[in-house]
C-alpha cells in the first residue's frame, strides 16, 4: 500500500521544550488516520510539520511522495484548530479566494456545490461576520476541501460543533475517504476516533505511545474490561473498588466499567457481584481507547485529556 | 508568485473597498481645500469693535499728526467694498490724548495706564519721551498692551511717529520734504526665473516672475505625497497582519501558502493601493490646474515617473518594517511602542526638507538624500526643486533603496514567519534579531 505520509524520527524543539520526540509513523493512502492525545502532546506540532509550516529539527517527513521542504502543498487541505476567517468578506468570495490560493481556478462552482451540500446554499452572498459559529466552522471546513486535496488534515474538526453539524462533517469526511482522499485528523475525543479511524496514533508528551488499527490496539491490550449494571443503592463504587479482581472503576452512574487486574477470573468476579446485589448486566468488553490511554499514560493524564 | 498575486488581489480589493480608504482619499483634499475656505470665511469674521488707545505725548508735537492719520485710517483702511457692499473689516482706532502734566512721569504714569488697560477701559497706550525728536540717547517711544499678538496699532503708530519725526527734523535742518522723498525713494529687487533658448525658434525666453508655488510648494507637495502614501498604507497593513494573527487567519493561510509569498503578496497589494491613491491625486491635481489654466506648473513626466518609482519603493521599504511589527506584536498598545522608531525614520525628511530645498545641490542635501530611508522623499524633493542635480544621484539613491528594501523584506520575512504563529508575549527586539540571523 502506498503511504500518503511517512515520518522518520522527526524531532521538534521549542526552546527547552521537546514538542515532538523522535516520532516515526506512516499514514496509508485512502485511510482515515486519527491522532489522539491530551493537549500539549505534540499533535498540532506534528500536523504543522506535515504541512511544512514548521520544519523538524531532525528527521524526515515525506508527504505524498515529496520530501522537499519547499514543496507546494496544493494537494494538502488543512483545517487548523485555531481558525479564523476574514469577517468583511462575502462567503462565496472567501471560498473562491481559498480555492485560488490552492490553484483551483474553478472555485465558484465547487464552492456553490459544497455550500449546498452542507446546507448553506443561501449564505453565499452574506458577509462572514453575519454567520453563526457553527456556520463559520462549516465554511472553514469547505475552505479546507475546496481544492479537492489528496490529503486532508483536520485539527480538532469536531470541537465546538453541535451534534447535527458534527454529523454533517463526519458524513462528508467519510464521503471524501470513499473518493480516495486520505484523511488525517487530530482529536482529544477518543470516542470519535474509535468510531471513525482506520488507524490510530496516540501521542503523549511528544512521543508516540500507540500506533495501529483499532483491532490491533485492542488485541494488544486484551479484553479485561467488564461493564456491569447492578440494581442496588448504596456506595456501589466503593464496594466495586474493594473487589480483589478490580483494578479501577469507571462509574457512569447507571453503568460501571470495571478494569480488571491482569490475571483476574471473570467467573469469580461475577459470583462476587451477585453477592453485592441483583446483576442486571454483565458484559466482557474490549477496552476503550480511553482505558488504554489511561493505562499507558497513567491516571493523571486522563484529567489532561478532558481539557 | 501566482499565490502572492492571489493575496495581493485580495488585499487590494479589501483595502480599496473599505470605507476608511474612501474617506482618507476624499478627506485629504477636502481638509486642505476646507481649511483654505474656512480661513477666507473667517477673515471677515474679525472683531470690528472700535478700539481706544491712550497717548501721552511728552514732546507735544505728535498730536496733530496722529489726529490726521487716525482720521485717514478710519476712513480708508477699515472698510472694504463700495456702496451697499461697504463692509467694516477692521476695528476703528479712537485716540485719547492724555495731558503729560496730569498723568505724571513714568513709572507711575505707566502703572496708571496699565491699570486702565486691565480694567478694559482702553486696549493699549503709547508713551512718547520728550527727547525723541532730538535723538536724545535714552529717549524712547513705548507701546504697552496686554498682548503682543494684535500689533496693528503698534505698526500704525510706528509709521506715524517716524514720518512725523522725519518731517520735524528736515524742517529743522531746512531741507525740502520733496528732496528727502526723492533721496530715500527705494527700488525693488525683482525675483525672476532663469531664461533659456527656445530650441525651435532660437529666441531667448522672457523671464517669468519667480513663483513660490513652483519653487517650494510643488516639490514639498510631491514629497508629502510619498509620506502620505507610506503613512496611509502602513497602519492598515500592520493592523491587518495583527488581526490575521489574532483571529488565527494566518494559520489557515499558511496551510496554503509559504510565509514569504504571503508577505510579498501583502506588500504588493499595499503598493497597488498606494499607487491608486497617488494616481487619483495626480489626476485630480492635473485636472484642477487645467481648470485654473495653470497646467504649466504641473510637474514634468520625468518627475511623475520618479515620483511613482520612489513612492512604490518607499511603500515597500516601510511596509516590510510595518509588517514585521504586526507579526511580532499582539495588540495595538504593543504595536504603538514598536512603531515609534519606524515612524521617526519615516518622518526624518520632514525635519530637514527646508534645508534641502534651499540648497538642493549642497553636500548636506546630497548626503542626506542618499540615506536610503530618506531617499524617496528627499531625492524627489531635490529633483522637483528648481535647478538640476546630476542624474547619477537619483539612480544611485534608487539602487540603494532597492538594496535596503530587499534587506528589509528578507528580515521581515523571517520575523513574519516566526511571529505570526507565536501567541502570547510580544517579541522583543533582540528576539526578532535572533529570528533574522538564526532561522
Terminal CA-CA length for chain B: 22
Q: What is the mean pLDDT of residues B64-86?
A: 85
pLDDT (0 to 100) of residue B81: 77
- Compute the distance between CA of residue B326 and CA of residue B415 in angstroms, rounded to an integer: 10
The Cα A212–Cα A209 span in angstroms is 10
Residues of A in contact with B249 (CB under 8 A): 84-86
One domain, residues B347 and B417: yes
pLDDT tens-place string over residues A154-195: 988 888 788 888 888 889 999 999 998 999 988 877 888 888
Give the confidence band of A307 by pLDDT, cuts at 50, 70, 90: very low
CA A183 – CA B167 distance, rounded (Å): 105
- Answer yes or no: are the C-beta atoms of A53 and A61 closer than 8 Å: no
Same domain, B228 and B376: yes
Nearest neighbour of B249 by CB, restricted to A76, A84, A100 = A84
What's the pLDDT at A284? 82
Q: Is B256 an 8 Å CB contact of chain A?
A: yes
For A238-247, which contacts have Cβ atoms below 8 Å and span 24 or more sequence positions? A239/A276, A240/A276, A243/A269, A243/A272, A243/A273, A244/A272, A245/A269, A245/A272
Can you give the three-state secondary structure of B403-428, one letter per residue?
Answer: HHHHHHHHHHHHHHHHHCCCCCCCCC
| H/E element, B235 | helix B218-246
What are the residues whose beta carbons fall under 8 Å from the beta carbon of B283, sequence distance 6 or more? none
Task: Report the half-sphere exposure of A24 (CA within 13 A, side-chain side).
Answer: 3
pLDDT recorded at residue A189: 79
pLDDT digits (tens, 9 = 90+) for B289-298: 888 887 777 8
Determine, yes or no, domain membership for B373: yes
Could B248 and A143 be called an inter-chain contact, meaning their C-beta atoms sit closer than 8 Å? no
B68 and B120 in a common domain: yes
Q: Residue B252 is placed in which grid cell?
A: 489557515
- Cell numbers standing for residue A243: 473487589
Answer whether residue B4 is part of any domain: no
Whether B424 and chain A come into contact, CB under 8 Å, resolves to: no
Q: What share of chain A is helix, strand, coil (3-state, %, to 5)?
A: 35, 30, 35
Do B246 and B307 lie in a common domain? yes
Provide the pLDDT for residue A72.
56
Given a contact cutoff of 8 angstroms between Cβ atoms, the answer to whether A37 and A188 are in contact is yes
- Dihedral through CA B405, CA B375, CA B353, CA B336, nearest 10? 10
Instruction: Determine the Cα–Cα distance for residues A32 and A173; give it in Å rounded to an integer.
Output: 9
> What is the number of alpha carbons within 13 Å of residue A61 lying toward its C-beta?
24
Which position has the higher pLDDT, B20 or A199?
A199
CB B117 within 8 A of CB B144: yes
As for how many domains chain B has, the answer is: 2
Q: Do residues B215 and B67 both lie within one domain?
A: no
Least CB–CB distance from A53: residue in B6, B14, B254 = B254
Among candidates A55, A53, A51, which has minimal Cα distance to A74?
A51
Interchain proximity B256–A54, CB inside 8 Å? no
CA distance A60 to A13: 15
Report residue B418 CA to chain centroid gap.
Answer: 41
What H or E segment, with its residue span, contains residue B57? strand B51-57
Q: What is the pLDDT of residue B53?
A: 93
Q: How far apart are CA A23 and CA A206, in angstroms?
A: 8
ipTM (interface predicted TM): 0.72
Q: Is the distance from CB of B262 to CB of B7 less than 8 angstroms?
A: yes
Both B245 and B334 in one domain: the answer is yes
- Please state which of the ranges B240-244, B252-256, B303-307 shows the lowest mean pLDDT: B252-256
What is the 8-class DSSP label of residue B68?
A: H
- Minimum distance, in Å, between the CA of residue B265 and any CA atom of chain A: 11
Half-sphere exposure of B112 (CA within 13 A, CB side): 14
**Which residue of chain B has the CA closest to A100?**
B6
Mark which of B131, B163, B179 sits at the end of a domain. Answer: B179
Distance from CA of A25 to the nearest CA of B (A): 21
Q: What CATH number is given to the structural domain containing B137? A: 3.40.190.10
Asked if residues B271 and B230 have their Cβ atoms less than 8 Å apart, the reply is: no
pLDDT reported for residue A290: 80
Q: Do B252 and A80 touch (CB under 8 A)?
A: yes
B3 touches chain A (CB under 8 A): yes
Q: Are A84 and B249 in contact (CB under 8 A)?
A: yes
Domain contains B291: yes
Cβ distance of A80 and B253 shorter than 8 Å:
no
- Residue A305: pLDDT band with limits 50, 70, 90: very low
Sheet holding B141-145, edge to edge: B93-98, B51-57, B124-128, B141-145
Tens of pLDDT, residues A61-101: 888 887 765 545 788 888 887 777 888 889 999 999 988 88
> Does residue A230 have a cis bond before it (omega within 30 degrees)?
no
Average pLDDT over residues B367-387: 89
Q: List, in order, residues 6 or more apart from A248 with CB less than 8 Å away.
A: A241, A258, A259, A299
Would you call B255 an interface residue with chain A, using a CB distance cutoff of 8 Å?
yes
Size of interface A-B (CB pairs under 8 A): 59
Give the pLDDT of residue B439. 60
DSSP per residue, B345-401: HHHHHHHHHHHHHHSTTSHHHHHHHTSGGGHHHHHHHHHHSSS---THHHHHHHHHH
Question: For residue A258, is pLDDT > 90?
Answer: no
pLDDT interval class at A229 (50, 70, 90): confident
Residues near A42 by beta carbon (within 8 Å), at least 6 away in sequence: A12, A19, A20, A21, A23, A203, A205, A206, A207
Q: Are residues B314 and B410 in the same domain?
A: yes
Of B156-170, B201-215, B299-313, the range with the lowest mean pLDDT is B201-215
Three-state DSSP at B199 gives coil
Q: Which of B179, B197, B219 is the last residue of a domain?
A: B179
Look at residue B102 and tell me if it is in a domain. yes
Phi, psi (deg, nearest 5) at residue B92 = -80, 155
State whether B327 and B382 are in the same domain.
Answer: yes
Question: Would B67 be classed as within a structural domain?
Answer: yes
C-alpha–C-alpha distance, residues B108 and B131, integer Å: 19
**A222 has a pLDDT exceeding 80:** no
CA distance A246 to A269: 8
B294 three-state secondary structure: coil
Query: Are A217 and A288 contacting, i.e. CB atoms less than 8 angstroms apart?
Result: no
Residue B239 lies in a domain: yes
Note whether B172 and B220 are same-domain residues.
no
Answer whether residue B9 is part of any domain: no
List the single residue in A with minimal CA-CA distance to B241.
A86
Q: How confident is the model at residue A213 (pLDDT cuts 50, 70, 90)?
A: confident
Mutate to test the interface with B, among A86, A104, A152, A156 (most CBs of B within 10 A): A86
Q: Are residues B113 and B245 in the same domain?
A: no
CB-CB contact of A257 with A226 (8 Å) = yes
Give mean pLDDT, residues B183-209: 80
- Mean pLDDT for the stretch of residues A123-135: 87
With beta carbons under 8 A apart, name residues in chain A contacting B254.
51, 53
Instruction: Specify whether B293 is located in the same domain as B424.
Output: yes
Closest Cβ opposite residue A84 in set B247, B254, B257: B247
Three-state SS annotation for A112-164:
HHHHHHCCCHHHCCCEHHHCCHHHHHHHHHHHHHCCCCCEEEEECCCCCCCHH
- Strands in A246-251's sheet, in edge-to-edge order, are A246-251, A256-260, A225-231, A278-285
Q: Which of B252, B261, B424, B434 to mutate to test the interface with A (most CBs of A within 10 A)?
A: B252
Taking the Cβ of residue B254 and every Cβ of chain A, the question of whether any pair is shorter than 8 Å is answered with yes
Residues A83/B254, Cβ–Cβ less than 8 Å: no
Task: Give the whole-angstrom CA distance, residue B335 versus residue B326.
Answer: 7
Contact B255 A84 (CB under 8 A): no
pLDDT value for B56: 92
pLDDT at site B113: 92
Residues of chain B positioned with their CB less than 8 A from the CB of A83: 248, 251-252
- Mean of the per-residue pLDDT values of chain A: 83
Q: Does residue B143 fall inside a structural domain?
A: yes
Instruction: Name the CA dihedral angle for A24, A30, A31, A32, rounded to a multiple of 10 degrees.
Output: 110
- Interface check B425 vs A, CB under 8 A: no
Longest CA–CA span in chain A (Å) reads 71
- B11/B4 Cα distance (integer angstroms): 10
Catalogue all structural domains in chain A, each as residue range(s) with its CATH number: 3-218 (3.40.50.300), 223-285 (3.30.70.100)
What values do phi and psi take at B219, rounded to 5?
Answer: -60, -40
Q: Domain containing B324: what range?
A: 211-438
Q: Are residues B59 and B174 in the same domain?
A: yes
Distance CA B224, CA B338 (A): 23
* Average pLDDT value over all residues in chain B: 84
> How close B233 gets to chain A, by Cα (Å)?
18
Amino acid at each position: 500500500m502506498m503511504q500518503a505520509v511517512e515520518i522518520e524520527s522527526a524531532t521538534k524543539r521549542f526552546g527547552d521544550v521537546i514538542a515532538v520526540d523522535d516520532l516515526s509513523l506512516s499514514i496509508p493512502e485512502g485511510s482515515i488516520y486519527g491522532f489522539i492525545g491530551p493537549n500539549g502532546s505534540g499533535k498540532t506540532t506534528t500536523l504543522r510539520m506535515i504541512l511544512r509550516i514548521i520544519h523538524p529539527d531532525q528527521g524526515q517527513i515525506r508527504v505524498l511522495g515529496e520530501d522537499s521542504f519547499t514543496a507546494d502543498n496544493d494537494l494538502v487541505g488543512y483545517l487548523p484548530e485555531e481558525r479564523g476567517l476574514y469577517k468583511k468578506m462575502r462567503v462565496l468570495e472567501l471560498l473562491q479566494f481559498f480555492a485560488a490560493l490552492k490553484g483551483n481556478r474553478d472555485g465558484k462552482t465547487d464552492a456553490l456545490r459544497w455550500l449546498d451540500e452542507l446546507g448553506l446554499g443561501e449564505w453565499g452572498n452574506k458577509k462572514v461576520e453575519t454567520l453563526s459559529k457553527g456556520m463559520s466552522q462549516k465554511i472553514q471546513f469547505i475552505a479546507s476541501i475546496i481544492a479537492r486535496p489528496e490529503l486532508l488534515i483536520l485539527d480538532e474538526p469536531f470541537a465546538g460543533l453541535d451534534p447535527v453539524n458534527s454529523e454533517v462533517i463526519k458524513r462528508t469526511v467519510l464521503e471524501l475517504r470513499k473518493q480516495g482522499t486520505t484523511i488525517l485528523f487530530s482529536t482529544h475525543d477518543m470516542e470519535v476516533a474509535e468510531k471513525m479511524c482506520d488507524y490510530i496514533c496516540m501521542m503523549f508528551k511528544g512521543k508516540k505511545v500507540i500506533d495501529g488499527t483499532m483491532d490491533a490496539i485492542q488485541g494488544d491490550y486484551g479484553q479485561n474490561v467488564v461493564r456491569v449494571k447492578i440494581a442496588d443503592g448504596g456506595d456501589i463504587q466503593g464496594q466495586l473498588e474493594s473487589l480483589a479482581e478490580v483494578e479501577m472503576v469507571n462509574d457512569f452512574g447507571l453503568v460501571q466499567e470495571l478494569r480488571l487486574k491482569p490475571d483476574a477470573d471473570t467467573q469469580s468476579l461475577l459470583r462476587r457481584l451477585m453477592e453485592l446485589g441483583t446483576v442486571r448486566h454483565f458484559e466482557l468488553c474490549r477496552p476503550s481507547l480511553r482505558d488504554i490511554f489511561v493505562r499507558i499514560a497513567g491516571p493523571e493524564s486522563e484529567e489532561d485529556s478532558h481539557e | 508568485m501566482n499565490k502572492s498575486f492571489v493575496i495581493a488581489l485580495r488585499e487590494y480589493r479589501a483595502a480599496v473597498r473599505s470605507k476608511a480608504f474612501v474617506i482618507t482619499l476624499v478627506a485629504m483634499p477636502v481638509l486642505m481645500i476646507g481649511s483654505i475656505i474656512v480661513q477666507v470665511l473667517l477673515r471677515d469674521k474679525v472683531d470690528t469693535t472700535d478700539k481706544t488707545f491712550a497717548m501721552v505725548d511728552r514732546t507735544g508735537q505728535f498730536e496733530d499728526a496722529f489726529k490726521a492719520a487716525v482720521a485717514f485710517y478710519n476712513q480708508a483702511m477699515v472698510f472694504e467694498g463700495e456702496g451697499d457692499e461697504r463692509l467694516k473689516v477692521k476695528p476703528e482706532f479712537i485716540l485719547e490724548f492724555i495731558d503729560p502734566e496730569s498723568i505724571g512721569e513714568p513709572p507711575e504714569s505707566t502703572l496708571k495706564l496699565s491699570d486702565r488697560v486691565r480694567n478694559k477701559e482702553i486696549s493699549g497706550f503709547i508713551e512718547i519721551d520728550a527727547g525723541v525728536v532730538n535723538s536724545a540717547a535714552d529717549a524712547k517711544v513705548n507701546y504697552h498692551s496686554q498682548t503682543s499678538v494684535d500689533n496693528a496699532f503698534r505698526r500704525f503708530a510706528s509709521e506715524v511717529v517716524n514720518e512725523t519725526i522725519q518731517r520735524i527734523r528736515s524742517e529743522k535742518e531746512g531741507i525740502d520734504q520733496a528732496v528727502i522723498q526723492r533721496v530715500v525713494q527705494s527700488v525693488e529687487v525683482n525675483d525672476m526665473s532663469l531664461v533659456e533658448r527656445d530650441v525651435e525658434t532660437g529666441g531667448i525666453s522672457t523671464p517669468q516672475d519667480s513663483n513660490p508655488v513652483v519653487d517650494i510648494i510643488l516639490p514639498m507637495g510631491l514629497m508629502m505625497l510619498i509620506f502620505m502614501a507610506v503613512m496611509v498604507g502602513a497602519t492598515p497593513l500592520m493592523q491587518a497582519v495583527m488581526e490575521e494573527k489574532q483571529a488565527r487567519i494566518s494559520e489557515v493561510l499558511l496551510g496554503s501558502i509559504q510565509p514569504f509569498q504571503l508577505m510579498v503578496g501583502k506588500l504588493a497589494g499595499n503598493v497597488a493601493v498606494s499607487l491608486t491613491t497617488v494616481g487619483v491625486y495626480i489626476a485630480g491635481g492635473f485636472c484642477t490646474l487645467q481648470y485654473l489654466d495653470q497646467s504649466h506648473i504641473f510637474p514634468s513626466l520625468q518627475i511623475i515617473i520618479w515620483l511613482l518609482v520612489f513612492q512604490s519603493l518607499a511603500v515597500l521599504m516601510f511596509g516590510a518594517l510595518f509588517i514585521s511589527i504586526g507579526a511580532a506584536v499582539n495588540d495595538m498598545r504593543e504595536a504603538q511602542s514598536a512603531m515609534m522608531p519606524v515612524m521617526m525614520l519615516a518622518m526624518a525628511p520632514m525635519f530637514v526638507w527646508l534645508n534641502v530645498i534651499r540648497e538642493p545641490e549642497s553636500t548636506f542635501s546630497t548626503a542626506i538624500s542618499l540615506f536610503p530611508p530618506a531617499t524617496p522623499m528627499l531625492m524627489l524633493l531635490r529633483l522637483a526643486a528648481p535647478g538640476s542635480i546630476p542624474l547619477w544621484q537619483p539612480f544611485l539613491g534608487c539602487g540603494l533603496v532597492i538594496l535596503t528594501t530587499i534587506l528589509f523584506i528578507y528580515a521581515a520575512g523571517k520575523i513574519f514567519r516566526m511571529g505570526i504563529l507565536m501567541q502570547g508575549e510580544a517579541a522583543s527586539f533582540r528576539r526578532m534579531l535572533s529570528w533574522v540571523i538564526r532561522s
